[in-house]
C-alpha cells in the first residue's frame, strides 16, 4: 500500500531511469540534422574520428550521443530503418551493462546495433550471443551491411569451424555466436599448447540476446567438455534388470519408517530416494551377480557409484518418458533428448551421470561408453568473466531479482514504440484434461470462423500430438510444430499468421521468427522461383488484403494449453501476438489434471470444483484458482532459482580452482624459462619426502636413512649415498643434511639439463608440466564430481554439505597441486636424455591425442541436494493409449454446453480387484475407472 503511494508520487526506479535516458535521447536527436547532412564517406569517417578521440582519452559515454546519431543515420541509409527513440533507450541500457526488456517484435535486432557500434570503438571486441547458430548467422547478415558501411568488421563463430576462420572471427570488431560456442571456446582455449592457438581475446563486452533463456533456463546446464572413458555397458544392462524387482512406494512417510516399498520419487525435488529395504535388496542382487563382494557394502565410498547407477536406472524407468523427454531414433538406434523448454530434439546431446546409458538400457538400444570430464564451467561463471555484460529479451522482469543477485545486472523495462493492443483474457479451468481439450477446440472453431489465425502453445510434444489428433477428429486443418518437424519450422511459422490458420507449437518452438499477420509474403516469394515482377506485386497485394482481414478479425490469437512452470515462458507465448501495436488475444486453458495443478494446487481448489458440480467440459474463471496457479508457479520458479544458486555455489568453489589452474597454464605457455619453477618444485617435493624419514629439528637416532635412500631411489631412480655422507661428516645435522640432499638432486638434474642442451630441456620441462597439469586437473574434476554427488549424504550426519564440500575440495585441490609437482620432478628425474626428435614426437603425440578427443556437450542440472539430475520437470504421467479415445465434439456454440464423449472400450483388459475408482482405467481409455469400466460393471 505504502509502496504504491510512493511509486505514484515519485515514480518507480524504472521511470527514473527512463527519464534520465530520455535526456540522452534528446542529445542524440540534437545531432540528427548535422549528421544527416554528411556524405556517405564523411559518415564512415566518423568511426575513425571516434576511435581517435577514444584513444586520446575521451570516454565512450561522452562519445555516445553523436555515435548513436551516426549509427541511426547509417541504418536509415543502408537498411531503410531509422531507430525509434525507444530503441535508443534500449541501446543506452545495453551500453550501460544492463538488461533491456523489450517486448517481442519491437526490434531488438536493430536496437542492439547501437550498443555494438559504440563499444566496437574501443577496438577490444564485442561479442553478441544468440541462442542458436541460425540466429547468429541471420543477425550477423542482417547487420553486416550497416557495420561494414561504418567501417567495422563482423565475424561469426560456429562449431567445427576451421581454426583460422574462427581466430579471425574473434578478431573482428563485432563477433556473433551462440552461448555454447563461446563457452566451449573458452574451455578449449585453456587446453591449447601454445598461446598463439588461443582463439579468444580477453573478454571485453558482450550482449546476450534472449538473455533469460541463456542465463536462466540454460544456467542449469553446466558446460562440460568430455572425452570417452572406459566401457561399462554391461553394468548398465545388469542394473537395468534390477528395476523390475524394485517396488515403488507412493507414500513418503511410510518409507521413512522403512515399512513399505524399495524407493520413492520425490517429485518436488526430482530425486530418487531408496529405502533401507531397497538398499538391502539391491545389495543382495549385486552380490548374487558378482558385482559386489560377499562382505562389501553399497555404502563404502568406492561403491557409491553403483548406487548412482541404480538411481539413474530408476529415473530412466519412472521419470523419463519416451516421446516426452526423449525420442528413440529407430534408424540410428539412439536416444535423442527433447528440450524441455523448446520441445526441440537435441541430437548429439547426452545426459550425464550415466542417465543416458540407463535410458539406452531401458529402451534396448546400444549402450554408448561413458565420458570423462575434461573441462567444465557454468554459463554464470563464463559470462561473469566479461568486463561488461548486457542483454536483451522480451521477458526479464519476473527474474529481475536473480539477474541482480547472480550477475549484478539491472533490468530496464523499455516502453513499446506503439501501445500494446493485445487482449489477455483470464484463464479457464476445467476438471479434466479431456474437458479442457474440448474447450480449446470450441475456442479454435470460434476464432477461425472469424477469420483470425490461432497459435496453440503446448508444454510437451505429447500434448501437441493429442491436440492434433483431436483437431483431426474435429475436421480442423492445422500445422504441428514440434521436435519431430523442425525442418519445416521456419516455413510453418512464416505462414502461421494467415487468415484462419491453426498452428500447434510446443513452447517457444520457432522462437526468433516473426509471425506476420496475413502471412509472410516475402518468405513465399523467396520460396517460389522465377516469379515475374507482376506476380510478386500480386502476392504483395494479396497479402495486404489478408493482413487487413486478420487485423479486422482481432489479429493473432494465442491459446496456451497448459501453464508452464515459469511465468516467463507463459509471457513469451503471449508475446507472440500483438507485435508493434498489432491487435491480438491470448488465453490459457487449464485443467486440474495438468502437472502444475496436480502437484501444487491444493485440495481446496479440487474440493471447490467438486462442490460446484462442474461437468467435464465446463470451465470456471476464478480469482482463487488463478492465485493458486501463480503461487504454484512461484514455488516452481523459486525451486529452480534455488537449483541454479546451488549449482553456482558449487561451481564457485570449482571456479576459484579453475582460475588458479588456468592462470598457471597461461604462465606455463607464456614464460620463456621454466627452470626457476622446476628448481622450486625440487625443493618442495624433496622437503616433503625427507620429512617422512628425517623429521624437522630431529636428531640422528630418530632418522631412517636406509628408508630415505630407498625411497629416493624408488621415486627418482637415482641413488644418493646418504649413509656415506653421514659417515664422512659427523657434524651433518638435520638442516645440513636436508640442504645437501636437495642440492645434490638439483645438481643431478642440472647435469642432465646440460647434456640435453638448454632448448631441449626447456621444451621437455614445458611438456612435462603441461602434461601433468592437464592430467591431474582432469582427474581432479572427476573427483570433484564424485564428491559433489555424494555430499548430500553428509546432511544425514548433521554436517553442512556446502561447508564439507568446500573443505574437502580444498584438500583435494592442495593434494592435486602436490601431486603435479611431485610427478613433474619424478618424470624429469627418471627420463633418459631425449633427442630433439623424441621431444618433437612427444609434443606431436600430445597434440594428436588432444585432437582425437571426441568432445561432447552434456546436458545436466543440479537438484537441491547438489546432485546432478537431467533438466526435466517432475514426473509427467503419460495417458497410455490416448489415441484410442474417440471424442465427439459439441457444435461449437458459444456457451459451454455439455458434450458427451464415446469411448472405444478395450474389454480384454484385466481389472485389479482393489482398484481405486478415481484411478485411470486400466483399459487405457484415458478416463477414470469409475467413468469407464467401473461404470460398466
Ligand atoms: P524482436 O527481436 O524484438 O522480437 P525483431 O528484431 O525481430 O524484433 O524486429 C521485428 C520487426 O520490426 C522486424 O521486421 C524489423 O525489421 C522491424 N523493425 C524493427 N525496428 C524497426 C524500425 N526502427 N523501423 C522499422 N522497422 C523496424
Taking only the tens place, the pLDDT of each residue in 206-247 is: 999 989 888 887 777 788 887 765 557 788 888 999 898 898
- DSSP codes joined into one string, 100-152: EE--TTS-HHHHHHHHHHHHHTTSS-EEEEESSHHHHHHHHHHHHHHHHHTT-
Whole-prediction pTM value? 0.70
Q: Which residue's C-alpha cell is 575521451?
A: 58
- 50-55: long-range contacts (C-beta < 8 A, 24 or more apart)? 50/121, 51/121, 51/123, 54/121, 54/122
Per-residue model confidence (pLDDT) at position 886: 23
Give yes or no for residue 108 CB within 6 A of ligand 1.
yes
Q: Which ligand 1 atom sits closest to the C-alpha of 514?
A: 7
CA dist., res. 186 & res. 179, Å (int)? 11
Are the beta carbons of 739 and 724 closer than 8 angstroms? no
The mean pLDDT value for 814-839 works out to: 84
Give yes or no for residue 110 CB within 6 A of ligand 1.
yes
Spacing of C-alpha 743 from chain mean position: 53
State in Å: Cα 638 to ligand 1 middle: 33
- DSSP codes joined into one string, 275-296: -HHHHHHHHHHHHHTTSS-TT-
Q: Which ligand 1 atom sits closest to the C-alpha of 82?
A: 23
Q: Which ligand 1 atom sits closest to the C-alpha of 87?
A: 23
For helices 433-450 and 461-473, angle between their N-to-C axes, nearest 10 degrees: 60
Q: What is the pLDDT of residues 254-305, one digit of tens each?
A: 444 555 788 888 766 566 877 778 888 888 888 888 887 777 666 543 454 5
Phi, psi of 645, rounded to the nearest 5 degrees = -65, -40
Q: Quick check: helix, strand or coil at residue 296?
A: coil
Mean pLDDT of the residues in the chain: 81
Give yes or no for residue 356 CB within 6 A of ligand 1.
no
CA dist., res. 543 & res. 500, Å (int)? 14
The mean pLDDT value for 697-722 works out to: 83
State in Å: Cα 29 to ligand 1 middle: 20
* CA atoms lying within 13 Å on the CB side of residue 592: 22
Per-residue model confidence (pLDDT) at position 461: 81
Per-residue HEC secondary structure of 515-539 comes to CCCCCCHHHHHHHCCCCCHHHHHHH
Give yes or no for residue 523 CB within 6 A of ligand 1.
no
Give yes or no for residue 107 CB within 6 A of ligand 1.
yes
Per-residue model confidence (pLDDT) at position 54: 97
Q: Quick check: helix, strand or coil at residue 577?
A: coil
Q: What is the pLDDT of residues 831-872, one digit of tens each?
A: 777 777 777 877 777 777 666 655 565 534 333 333 333 333
Are the beta carbons of 661 and 812 closer than 8 angstroms? no
Other CB atoms within a 10 A radius of the CB of residue 294 amount to 6
Lowest average pLDDT, out of 222-236, 428-442, 459-473, goes to 222-236
Q: Using DSSP bridges, classify how beta strands 502-506 and 479-481 pair: parallel, antiparallel or unpaired.
A: parallel
Nine-digit cell string for 774: 592437464
Residue 422 forms beta bridges with which residues?
584
Q: Which ligand 1 atom sits closest to the C-alpha of 209?
A: 2
Per-residue pLDDT at 532 exceeds 60: yes
Give the DSSP H or E segment for 267: none
Lowest average pLDDT, out of 372-381, 418-427, 831-840, goes to 831-840
Phi, psi of 553, rounded to the nearest 5 degrees = -80, 5
Per-residue model confidence (pLDDT) at position 909: 57
Give yes or no for residue 135 CB within 6 A of ligand 1.
no
CA dist., res. 489 & res. 510, Å (int)? 6
Give yes or no for residue 70 CB within 6 A of ligand 1.
no
Give the DSSP H or E segment for 129: strand 126-130
Q: What is the pLDDT of residues 546-594, one digit of tens each?
A: 999 999 999 999 999 988 877 778 888 888 888 888 899 999 998 888 8
More confident residue, 593 or 46: 46
Are the beta carbons of 412 and 17 closer than 8 angstroms? yes
pLDDT-derived band at 920, boundaries 50, 70, 90: low
The mean pLDDT value for 902-915 works out to: 53
State in Å: Cα 24 to ligand 1 middle: 22
Per-residue model confidence (pLDDT) at position 96: 97
Give yes or no for residue 109 CB within 6 A of ligand 1.
yes
Phi, psi of 506, rounded to the nearest 5 degrees = -70, 155
Give yes or no for residue 72 CB within 6 A of ligand 1.
no
Per-residue model confidence (pLDDT) at position 387: 95
Among 88, 109, 134, 392, say which to mutate for ligand 1: greatest number of ligand atoms within 8 Å of CB: 109
Q: What is the pLDDT of residues 788-806, one digit of tens each?
A: 776 776 666 677 788 888 8
Per-residue pLDDT at 36 exceeds 90: yes
Q: Is the dihedral of CA 241, 242, 244, 245 positive or negative?
A: positive
pLDDT-derived band at 359, boundaries 50, 70, 90: very high
CA dist., res. 912 & res. 923, Å (int)? 11
pLDDT cut 70: percent of the chain above it = 82
Give yes or no for residue 628 CB within 6 A of ligand 1.
no
State in Å: Cα 587 to ligand 1 middle: 25
Amino acid at each position: 500500500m505504502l509502496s504504491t503511494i510512493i511509486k505514484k508520487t515519485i515514480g518507480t526506479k524504472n521511470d527514473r531511469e527512463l527519464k534520465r535516458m530520455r535526456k540522452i535521447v534528446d542529445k542524440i536527436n540534437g545531432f540528427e540534422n548535422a549528421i544527416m547532412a554528411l556524405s556517405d564517406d564523411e559518415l564512415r569517417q566518423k568511426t575513425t574520428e571516434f576511435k581517435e578521440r577514444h584513444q586520446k582519452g575521451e570516454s565512450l559515454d561522452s562519445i555516445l550521443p553523436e555515435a548513436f546519431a551516426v549509427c541511426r543515420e547509417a541504418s536509415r541509409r543502408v537498411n531503410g530503418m531509422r531507430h525509434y527513440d525507444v530503441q535508443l533507450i534500449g541501446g543506452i541500457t545495453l551500453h550501460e551493462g544492463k538488461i533491456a526488456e523489450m517486448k517481442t517484435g519491437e526490434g531488438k535486432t536493430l536496437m542492439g546495433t547501437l550498443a555494438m557500434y559504440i563499444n566496437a570503438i574501443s577496438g577490444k571486441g564485442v561479442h553478441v550471443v544468440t541462442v542458436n547458430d541460425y540466429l547468429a548467422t541471420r543477425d550477423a547478415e542482417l547487420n553486416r551491411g550497416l557495420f561494414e558501411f561504418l567501417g567495422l568488421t563482423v565475424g561469426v563463430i560456429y562449431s567445427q569451424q576451421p581454426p583460422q576462420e574462427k581466430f579471425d572471427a574473434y578478431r573482428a570488431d563485432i563477433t556473433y555466436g551462440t552461448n555454447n560456442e563461446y563457452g566451449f571456446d573458452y574451455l578449449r582455449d585453456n587446453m591449447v599448447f601454445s598461446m598463439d592457438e588461443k582463439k579468444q581475446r580477453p573478454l571485453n563486452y558482450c550482449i546476450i540476446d534472449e538473455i533469460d533463456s541463456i542465463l536462466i533456463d540454460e544456467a542449469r546446464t553446466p558446460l562440460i567438455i568430455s572425452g570417452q572413458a572406459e566401457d561399462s555397458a554391461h553394468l548398465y544392462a545388469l542394473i537395468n534388470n534390477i528395476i523390475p524387482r524394485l517396488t515403488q512406494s507412493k507414500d513418503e512417510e511410510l518409507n521413512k519408517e522403512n515399512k513399505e516399498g524399495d524407493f520413492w520419487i520425490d517429485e518436488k525435488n526430482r530425486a530418487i530416494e531408496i529405502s533401507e529395504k531397497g538398499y538391502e535388496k539391491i545389495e543382495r542382487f549385486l552380490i548374487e551377480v558378482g558385482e559386489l563382494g560377499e562382505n562389501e557394502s553399497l555404502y563404502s565410498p568406492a561403491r557409491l557409484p553403483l548406487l548412482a547407477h541404480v538411481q539413474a536406472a530408476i529415473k530412466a524407468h519412472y521419470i523419463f518418458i519416451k516421446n516426452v523427454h526423449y525420442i528413440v531414433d529407430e534408424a540410428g538406434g539412439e536416444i535423442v533428448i527433447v528440450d524441455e523448454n523448446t520441445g526441440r530434439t537435441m541430437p548429439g546431446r547426452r545426459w550425464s551421470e550415466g542417465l543416458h546409458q540407463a535410458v539406452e538400457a531401458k529402451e534396448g538400444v546400444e549402450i554408448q561408453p561413458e565420458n570423462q570430464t575434461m573441462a567444465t564451467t557454468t554459463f554464470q561463471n563464463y559470462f561473469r568473466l566479461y568486463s561488461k555484460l548486457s542483454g536483451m529479451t522480451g521477458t526479464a522482469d519476473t527474474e529481475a531479482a536473480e539477474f541482480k543477485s547472480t550477475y549484478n545486472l539491472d533490468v530496464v523495462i523499455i516502453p513499446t514504440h506503439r501501445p500494446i493492443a493485445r487482449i489477455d483474457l483470464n484463464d479457464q479451468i476445467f476438471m479434466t484434461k479431456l474437458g479442457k481439450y474440448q474447450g480449446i477446440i470450441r475456442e479454435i472453431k470460434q476464432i477461425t470462423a472469424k477469420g483470425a489465425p490461432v497459435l496453440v502453445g503446448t508444454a510437451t510434444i505429447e500434448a501437441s500430438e493429442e491436440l492434433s489428433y483431436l483437431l483431426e477428429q474435429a475436421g480442423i486443418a492445422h500445422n504441428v510444430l514440434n521436435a519431430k518437424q523442425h525442418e519445416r519450422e521456419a516455413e510453418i511459422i512464416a505462414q502461421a499468421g494467415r487468415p484462419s490458420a491453426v498452428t500447434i507449437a510446443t513452447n517457444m518452438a520457432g522462437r526468433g521468427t516473426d509471425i506476420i499477420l496475413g502471412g509472410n509474403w516475402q518468405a513465399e516469394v523467396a520460396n517460389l522461383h522465377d516469379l515475374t515482377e507482376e506476380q510478386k506485386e500480386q502476392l504483395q497485394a494479396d497479402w495486404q488484403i489478408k493482413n487487413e482481414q486478420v487485423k479486422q478479425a482481432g489479429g493473432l490469437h494465442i491459446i496456451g494449453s497448459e501453464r508452464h512452470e515459469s511465468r516467463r515462458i507463459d509471457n513469451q507465448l503471449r508475446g507472440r501476438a500483438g507485435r508493434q501495436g498489432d491487435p491480438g488475444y491470448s488465453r490459457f486453458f487449464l485443467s486440474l489434471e495438468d502437472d502444475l495443478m496436480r502437484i501444487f494446487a491444493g485440495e481446496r481448489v479440487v474440493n471447490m470444483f467438486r462442490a460446484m458440480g462442474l461437468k467435464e467440459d465446463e470451465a470456471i474463471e476464478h480469482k482463487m484458482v488463478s492465485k493458486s496457479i501463480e503461487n504454484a508457479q512461484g514455488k516452481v520458479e523459486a525451486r529452480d532459482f534455488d537449483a541454479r544458486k546451488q549449482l553456482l555455489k558449487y561451481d564457485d568453489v570449482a571456479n576459484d580452482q579453475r582460475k588458479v589452474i588456468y592462470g598457471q597454464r597461461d604462465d606455463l605457455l607464456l614464460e620463456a624459462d621454466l627452470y626457476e619453477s622446476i628448481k622450486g618444485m625440487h625443493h618442495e617435493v624433496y622437503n616433503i619426502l625427507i620429512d617422512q624419514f628425517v623429521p624437522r629439528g630431529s636428531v640422528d637416532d630418530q632418522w631412517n636413512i636406509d628408508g630415505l635412500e630407498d625411497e629416493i631411489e624408488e621415486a627418482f631412480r637415482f641413488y644418493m649415498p646418504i649413509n656415506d655422507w653421514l659417515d664422512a661428516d659427523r657434524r651433518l645435522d638435520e638442516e645440513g643434511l636436508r640442504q645437501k640432499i636437495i642440492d645434490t638432486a638439483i645438481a643431478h638434474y642440472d647435469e642432465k639439463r646440460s647434456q640435453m642442451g638448454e632448448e631441449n630441456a626447456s621444451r621437455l620441462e614445458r611438456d612435462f608440466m603441461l602434461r601433468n597439469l592437464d592430467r591431474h586437473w582432469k582427474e581432479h574434476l572427476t573427483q570433484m564430481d564424485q564428491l559433489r554427488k555424494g555430499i548430500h549424504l553428509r546432511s544425514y550426519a548433521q554436517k553442512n554439505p556446502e561447508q564439507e564440500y568446500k573443505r574437502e575440495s580444498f584438500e583435494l585441490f592442495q593434494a592435486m597441486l602436490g601431486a603435479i609437482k611431485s610427478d613433474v620432478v619424478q618424470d624429469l628425474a627418471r627420463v633418459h636424455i631425449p633427442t630433439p626428435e623424441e621431444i618433437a614426437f612427444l609434443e606431436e603425440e600430445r597434440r594428436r591425442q588432444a585432437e582425437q578427443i571426441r568432445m561432447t556437450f552434456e546436458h545436466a542440472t543440479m537438484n537441491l541436494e547438489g546432485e546432478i539430475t537431467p533438466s526435466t520437470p517432475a514426473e509427467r504421467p503419460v495417458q497410455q493409449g490416448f489415441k484410442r479415445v474417440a471424442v465427439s465434439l459439441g457444435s461449437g456454440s458459444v456457451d459451454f454446453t455439455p458434450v458427451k464423449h464415446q469411448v472405444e472400450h478395450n474389454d480384454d483388459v484385466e481389472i485389479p480387484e482393489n482398484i481405486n475408482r478415481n484411478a485411470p482405467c486400466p483399459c487405457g481409455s484415458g478416463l477414470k475407472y469409475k467413468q469407464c469400466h467401473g461404470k460398466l460393471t
